[in-house]
Chains A and B, each alone.
Chain A
Amino acid sequence: MPTTASTPRSPRREQMRAALEDQTLFSWQLVLPALVMLVLFQVVPIALGVLNSLRKFSTFETRVVWNGFRNYAHILTDPHFFGTILPNTLLFVLLAVSIELVLGMGIAILINRRIALAGAVRTLLLLPLMVAPLLSGLMFAWMFNDQFGVANVVMKALGFSPVAWLTQRWTAFSVIILADVWTWTPWFVVILFAGLQTLPRDPHEAAMLDGATPWQVFWHVTLPLLFPVLAVTLVLRSFDAFRVFDVVWAVTGGGPGRGTEVFSVYTYKEAFGFMKFGTAAAAANIGALIQMVIGFLFYRTVRRALERSKVQPPPEAAA
């Protein structure tokens, strides 16, 4: 019986084998675990979600009944979706992320200076990040309870009438924003503080020697240099805020009425409130598409801004 050892290999085949071993095959072997993870826990669930969105899928439907695009039509013709849910979600993203960014930047600049007990201050600032968002939501719900809440104690002490915070749309929305800001501002602080620490000191010192005010230094030197970090934090946090669930659920459950209902709460109610898993899957897919479109536009804008903000190297360095 001839053996493979006795079969002479063609030089071309040898070359191919070597190339595979050295580059492609070895690369694939390295990538394989991550790829399997990705397929099992990302691609397969997404595919199942898409399939389920085309079905009548609920606890009271025991057969597989294909429903075409009716689940999508149901979401897109729901007057609450475009009238309340989407505006609430986008408003939440805009307000919460903007406030968190401004506060986070301010605090990061403060703790970037040499201040007393800097370590303790930084640790304290991180505490809200260690509280689960659901718990911080519950905490704020009780703080703004009309009967027992500390907020109304303060209102009374200041001579104002107590307020039923969670019974009106915009006061309830404000409490949700406040809870989210309290929870997520430290995240901005941590990232931006790390960014500030890596900035070169030379441009700042040069600007100050030229007589620039602290505001001018911040606006014309710090901010452009920090822009790449800012852009990344903004993109990541905006996507995260679009999916907000726990804080809203804990503070108002989407009420009063549907006044503070956001996208994730809407999807959750379709799935686990009404047991319409097919419709909920369609809603989730529509949400993902909306995020992709907004994300694409956002990314393009940020990329252009980043290119504009790049510090041009001096001619001699370029040479």
Chain B
Amino acid sequence: MFRRRFAGLIAVLMSLTLVLGACGGGSQPAQPAQPAPSQSQAPPASPPAPAQPVVLKVAYQKSPIQDIWIEKMVDWGKQNNITVEPNAISYEVYVQKVSANLLAPKGEYDVIWQNDDWGQLWGPRIEPLPPDLANAFQPFDLEPFMVNGKATAAPMVLTAGVFFYRTDLIKPEEFPKTWDELVQVSKQLQAEGKVKWGFVAGMKYPHSWFSLLWSLWSNGGDVLLPVFERDNAALAKNGWKSGATQPEFKQMVEFWHDAINLHKIAPPGITGYTRNDADPLFLGGEAAITMQDSTVWGAFNDASKSKVAGKIGIASWPTGPKGQQRIGWADAWAWAVPTNAPQKEAAFRLIKGVTTDAAWVEEATKKTGGVPGLKAVGDKLQKEDPVFGKIVAATIGAPKRVHSAYYMPEWPEVHTALADYVIKALTGPKDGIDAQLKALDAEVGRIMKK
């Protein structure tokens, strides 16, 4: 009987341990609440206990640009008695992990990397910037992060889509300015045996910016109508009408169908490529031209990874037959504070300390590429640095600048549908393009009606 009772007691204790473990054991130890300097209480009568060190957790994606920003944050923290604890998260699971964190009653991160691509998805769960911080940046750059009329993220850099090409094969003045020229130059280089492919870039979702979307915009088309409109109220007023059945859209799909199947200037597998599949072809010297974020400039010129390092030029997008003007995009990578962040006041001090430090922003831009979030720094660099001048000319200096995403919650679904139906059209017969675009039009209607 004793043994049975003893076993029963152990069972009950185990159960209690499990319950307690499930309730509290798995959560992070709570950070001691840090009173904000402006909210400090009256001094205590007894000698004050030593101040608890402030620890700020920063969620970011590993990349050359964010890596040096994180180094700067850690340095800034040391100078301001704040411990900055970087939490690197892979790009592939970044949105998933941070979304889960934002949904929790008590957040883990004080500062997160915020991107214009998903700014609209997290918007209500991000703190508005203090007005003095928001005023440091250009209104256009903050548009993707506006929630209820307030900016919610502070740009560190503007990432811009630019063309990279081999300067040993193409002279800067001979870089294609139209789609036709892109085909001609590519075919010529392939015929001469200098490269296997004229153009290569990512195409499958979510890498469609590097092929489908730039060419759509440079032909005067867009995903939703009116063309180049990003204001949700204006798009709603127009019934969220898709641009898929417009002639500019169809011409874009036909261009890629011909580029892959008729002219064969792009690899047959390009419809399944991410930029991680496309970059090795350009860096290995097998393709003459690619389209990528300007922020890879440093990595593309790293001789340990690139056979074409030191032989790379930057250019603007070639224009399609219906394109009226040269188009460019440059949208922000930014830092933001979640509404469930444990240390909001200190987090904003950190963000302000690094993003508005002009000397640092200039240093970061020179080290890694991209367009700085601070306009004054951009203007200064444009005068001094020829490479930066080319990036500016291809992006924020283009006659027409567009945002590279839409800012309604359904954008990821619309973007996925666009990539899916266009890729179906590109992997099928050319006379099936119309049917696929009509189906895309209907699908966008279905998504926006829900």
Which residues from chain B contact A165 at a C-beta distance below 8 Å?
269
Is A26 part of the binding interface, using a Cβ–Cβ cutoff of 8 Å?
yes
**In chain A, what residue has the closest Cβ to B124?**
A62
Is A32 part of the binding interface, using a Cβ–Cβ cutoff of 8 Å?
yes
Contact digits for B436-450, partner A, Cβ 8 Å, 1 yes 0 no: 000000000000001
Q: A252-B272, A269-B416, A275-B409 are in contact. Are A32 and B450 (CB under 8 A)?
A: no
Which residues from chain B contact A36 at a C-beta distance below 8 Å?
15, 18-19
CB<8 Å pairs between A and B, sample of 14: A26-B7, A58-B121, A59-B99, A59-B121, A61-B124, A146-B268, A147-B267, A147-B286, A164-B272, A255-B272, A256-B204, A256-B271, A256-B272, A274-B416
Interface residue ranges of A267-285 to B (CB < 8 Å): 269, 272-275, 277
Q: A33-B18, A59-B124 are in contact. Are A253 and B11 (CB under 8 A)?
A: no
Which residues from chain B contact A61 at a C-beta distance below 8 Å?
124
Is B176 part of the binding interface, using a Cβ–Cβ cutoff of 8 Å?
no
User: Which one, B72-80, B249-257, B418-426, is touching chain A?
Assistant: B418-426
**In chain B, what residue has the closest Cβ to A70?**
B450
Least CB distance from A222 to B in Å reads 44
From A21, A259, A274, A277, name the one whose CB has the most chain B CB atoms within 10 angstroms.
A274
Q: A29-B8, A164-B272 are in contact. Are A257 and B424 (CB under 8 A)?
A: yes
Is B4 part of the binding interface, using a Cβ–Cβ cutoff of 8 Å?
yes
A147 and B269: CB pair below 8 A?
yes
Interface size class of A (residues with CB under 8 A): 35 or more
Is B125 part of the binding interface, using a Cβ–Cβ cutoff of 8 Å?
yes
Give the distance in Å from the alpha carbon of A257 to the alpha carbon of B204 in the complex: 9
Least CB distance from B135 to A in Å reads 26
Select B272's contact among A32, A40, A167, A275, beta carbons within 8 Å: A167
Is B202 part of the binding interface, using a Cβ–Cβ cutoff of 8 Å?
no
Query: 10 closest A-B pairs (Cβ-Cβ)?
Result: A146-B269, A29-B8, A257-B424, A164-B268, A164-B269, A166-B272, A29-B11, A272-B96, A257-B420, A33-B14
B19 and A255: CB pair below 8 A?
no
A21 and B420: CB pair below 8 A?
no
**In chain B, what residue has the closest Cβ to A268?**
B96
Select B269's contact among A32, A37, A145, beta carbons within 8 Å: A145
Give the distance in Å from the alpha carbon of A37 to the alpha carbon of B22 in the complex: 9
B122 and A59: CB pair below 8 A?
yes
Select B95's contact among A32, A252, A259, A272, beta carbons within 8 Å: A272
Q: A40-B19, A147-B286 are in contact. Are A255 and B204 (CB under 8 A)?
A: yes
Is A258 part of the binding interface, using a Cβ–Cβ cutoff of 8 Å?
yes
Q: Which residues of A contact B (CB under 8 A)?
A: 21, 25-26, 29-30, 32-33, 35-37, 40-41, 58-62, 74, 145-148, 164-168, 172, 252-253, 255-259, 269, 272-275, 277
Least CB distance from A129 to B in Å reads 24
From A40, A61, A168, A255, name the one whose CB has the most chain B CB atoms within 10 angstroms.
A255
Per the CB 8 Å criterion, the residue count for chain B at the interface is 44
Which residues from chain A contact B4 at a C-beta distance below 8 Å?
21, 26
A60 and B269: CB pair below 8 A?
no
**In chain A, what residue has the closest Cβ to B409?**
A60
Least CB distance from B70 to A in Å reads 24
Which residues from chain A contact B8 at a C-beta distance below 8 Å?
25-26, 29-30
A59 and B102: CB pair below 8 A?
yes
Give the distance in Å from the alpha carbon of A25 to the alpha carbon of B268 in the complex: 69
Least CB distance from B360 to A in Å reads 31
Give the distance in Å from the alpha carbon of A252 to the alpha carbon of B124 in the complex: 33
Interface residue ranges of B74-128 to A (CB < 8 Å): 95-96, 99, 102-103, 120-125
Give the distance in Å from the alpha carbon of A172 to the alpha carbon of B423 in the complex: 14
A275 and B121: CB pair below 8 A?
yes
Is B413 part of the binding interface, using a Cβ–Cβ cutoff of 8 Å?
yes
Select A167's contact among B11, B122, B268, beta carbons within 8 Å: B268
Q: Which residues of B contact A (CB under 8 A)?
A: 1, 4, 7-8, 11-12, 14-15, 18-19, 22, 95-96, 99, 102-103, 120-125, 204-205, 267-269, 271-272, 277, 280-281, 286, 409-410, 412-413, 416, 420-421, 423-424, 427, 450
A40 and B18: CB pair below 8 A?
yes
Least CB distance from B286 to A in Å reads 7
Give the distance in Å from the alpha carbon of A168 to the alpha carbon of B15 in the complex: 53
Q: A166-B269, A166-B272 are in contact. Are A60 and B11 (CB under 8 A)?
A: no
Least CB distance from B166 to A in Å reads 17
A275 and B416: CB pair below 8 A?
no
Least CB distance from A73 to B in Å reads 10
Which residues from chain B contact A146 at a C-beta distance below 8 Å?
267-269
Q: Beyond the given A36-B19, A255-B423, please list 19 additional residue pairs across the A-B interface where CB-CB is below 8 A.
A: A33-B15, A40-B18, A59-B103, A60-B123, A60-B409, A146-B267, A147-B286, A148-B280, A164-B267, A166-B272, A167-B271, A168-B427, A172-B272, A253-B204, A255-B271, A255-B272, A256-B271, A256-B272, A256-B424
Which residues from chain A contact B424 at a C-beta distance below 8 Å?
256-257, 259
Give the distance in Å from the alpha carbon of A274 to the alpha carbon of B95 in the complex: 11
Q: A40-B18, A146-B268, A147-B286 are in contact. Are A275 and B281 (CB under 8 A)?
A: no
Which residues from chain B contact A58 at a C-beta distance below 8 Å?
121, 409
A275 and B423: CB pair below 8 A?
no
Which residues from chain B contact A252 at a C-beta distance below 8 Å?
272
Give the distance in Å from the alpha carbon of A181 to the alpha carbon of B436 in the complex: 33
A256 and B281: CB pair below 8 A?
no
Give the distance in Å from the alpha carbon of A25 to the alpha carbon of B409 in the complex: 54
A167 and B95: CB pair below 8 A?
no
Least CB distance from A243 to B in Å reads 18
**In chain B, what residue has the closest Cβ to A41?**
B22
Least CB distance from B263 to A in Å reads 16
Give the distance in Å from the alpha carbon of A41 to the alpha carbon of B22 in the complex: 9
**In chain B, what residue has the closest Cβ to A142?**
B277
**In chain B, what residue has the closest Cβ to A257?**
B424
A145 and B420: CB pair below 8 A?
no
**In chain A, what residue has the closest Cβ to B23?**
A40
Least CB distance from B354 to A in Å reads 26
Which residues from chain B contact A25 at a C-beta distance below 8 Å?
8
Select B416's contact among A30, A41, A145, A273, beta carbons within 8 Å: A273
Least CB distance from A57 to B in Å reads 9
Give the distance in Å from the alpha carbon of A15 to the alpha carbon of B269 in the complex: 78
Give the distance in Å from the alpha carbon of A147 to the alpha carbon of B8 in the complex: 64
A60 and B124: CB pair below 8 A?
yes
B12 and A60: CB pair below 8 A?
no
Give the distance in Å from the alpha carbon of A255 to the alpha carbon of B206 in the complex: 12
Least CB distance from A252 to B in Å reads 7
